[in-house]
Structure 1
């Protein structure tokens, strides 16, 4: 065998072995291009596209620490609270499709209490379960789910009450243009009580000088109705004037104070002054006239009149950290009856850390 033949044979054997190994080799696929999170600026700051979709998502919330005080208390009352908010939006042929969820949980400090001259230890803390505050969707002008009643609205103080709570509902808003919107709603405050919903309506007017909201509601359980109007007027760039007027023919779900526990009429006002970008101060009052007899176990008695005044200081410590100091005074027939003829001071210091 000559050298040439030896080389040719070795080459042939090498190619044969290489071919066999190639048949058994593992083929690694090319990696898919990474899809980075895209910012969605259509609905404001904080939204981003869910990867692979055209839906924009925003996750936010707050952590609150609040120290409460009342002159009928024997010490401070503290509360820690958290809220988690999830907001998803996308565009459809019928308009914006929004889905909104908000959870809340809180913990109140507990300790020693006195009963019949004996001190009792109540435990280290009172931790609430998670509560669902809001769960609804909106499509165009239609809203379906659980959120604040359409009748919800009050002054910017901490002493006041405008009536209404969160409730299951269906409502529709028609944008009439030029800052005018009309809304009608069907609300059900109780489960399996009857088949007739509460009927609510609202006219909202927003202009350069401020806003005016007019509310109405009919409660078939008592066959009574409620009306309310709130105006917020920009007197100057720094000063805002707020006015509230309310009337109830009898007890309704939207009664001032609590459902079916309110007054025939009420009037109030509030002044808010924006000192600078960080500091705002405000003060106001509200009068509650001619309490209803509602045939329920309630604090209010027929015909009682009450009033409240209060002041608030708001301060932005840093971005997303706000402080609020509130001091209120409550007086009138109810307070005189339950407090041995005296009114009552109350207030709180609140810190909100939002994200």
Structure 2
């Protein structure tokens, strides 16, 4: 065997080994294409699919600056406020599954004790404003009471606050729905919740809402009716009536500080796409406090100008006057200028 034969044989052996190793080499998978955020238009504008899921998420909020005026104060009260919300929704065999969180923080020059989560040193608040979930017609969590509802304007008092609750709404179709809620009042530590019911009718001519509530703390009930009628394309007539058998948590204004009955109305006129004006009033008969009735009557009137400056920036100017039949009550003017920048 000569040197040439040895070289050829060695080369063949090396090629064979190399080929065997190549056959055993690990194949690197192609990288998966990047999944960009997709728009979700099922629930309206501003929703996006969370990558890798069928859940749609909206992130929004507002920045507010408000200058408050009250005749009893010796100057203006200014407030800057920020709200941010997360709204996640998806579809299930039981209907839409919604999860909602809203946070709020503000800073103002009001006196101590102003608002939830008040920080006296910083004159501000930071708190969880809403947190609830909905599945089909079921709602569980902390949000506006089912009793919440009033006419437009900034003078009226129709009751309503945010509470922990369990609520169910049945949609009967054709703009008709029925809701029932069990709610926990903020100063109630017993085992019996507030019972609230609501019937809503919404049609092309407007809407009607009928409310009923029972408060076991005083064993009293409350009723409220609100109608909003479209007289023309630009003019809306709004009416409100309330009745309480005694002081209840559903009282007009603050809990346990209301009236036996009240009547009110409001006219709202849309001048154009940017400007809306309105005016109205409400009368309160036999004011009550902690289930003690009185012969004191009161009334409030007010006017509002709403203006859309640009998209997502609106301005509101409100002026109110309230008075009662107390001899020492000379009446009081109040109002505010508000700027809301939303996203």
Residues in 1 aligned to 2:199 and 2:188: alpha-carbon distance in whole angstroms:
30
Aligned to 2:183: 187
Shift of 1:25: 8.2
Shift of 1:303: 2.4
Structure 2: gaps (5+ residues): 112-118
Residues in 1 aligned to 2:152 and 2:57: alpha-carbon distance in whole angstroms:
29
Question: 3-state DSSP class of the match of 1:262?
Answer: strand
Cα RMSD (Å) of the superposition?
2.7
Aligned to 1:316: 308
Residue-by-residue CA offset, 1:222-270 (whole Å, 9 max, x unaligned): 0100000000000000011100000001000010120011100111111
Aligned to 1:288: 284
Aligned to 2:204: 208
Residue-by-residue CA offset, 1:60-79 (whole Å, 9 max, x unaligned): 11111111111222112110
Residue-by-residue CA offset, 1:50-90 (whole Å, 9 max, x unaligned): 11111111111111111111122211211011111111111
Change (3 A) 1:141 1:347: same
Aligned to 2:123: 126
Aligned to 2:135: 139
Question: 3-state DSSP class of the match of 1:152?
Answer: coil
Aligned to 1:117: none
Residue-by-residue CA offset, 1:283-319 (whole Å, 9 max, x unaligned): 11111110114169xxxx8321111111111111111
Contact 1:109 1:124 in 2 (8 A): no
Residues in 2 aligned to 1:244 and 1:210: alpha-carbon distance in whole angstroms:
14
Aligned to 1:352: 340
1:343 to 328, 331, 334: 331
Aligned to 1:329: 321
Matches within 5 A, 1:222-261: 222-261=218-257
Shift of 1:49: 1.2
Change (3 A) 1:63 1:292: same
Shift of 1:11: 4.8
Contact 1:110 1:123 in 2 (8 A): no
Matches within 5 A, 1:1-355: 8=8, 11=11, 15=15, 28-109=28-109, 125-129=122-126, 131-190=127-186, 193-294=189-290, 302-333=294-325, 337=328, 341-355=329-343
Residues in 1 aligned to 2:21 and 2:82: alpha-carbon distance in whole angstroms:
62
Contact 1:329 1:344 in 2 (8 A): yes
Structure 1: gaps (5+ residues): 112-121
| Count of residues in Structure 1 that have an aligned counterpart in Structure 2 | 336
Change (3 A) 1:16 1:210: same
Residues in 1 aligned to 2:145 and 2:242: alpha-carbon distance in whole angstroms:
16
Contact 2:244 2:261 in 1 (8 A): yes
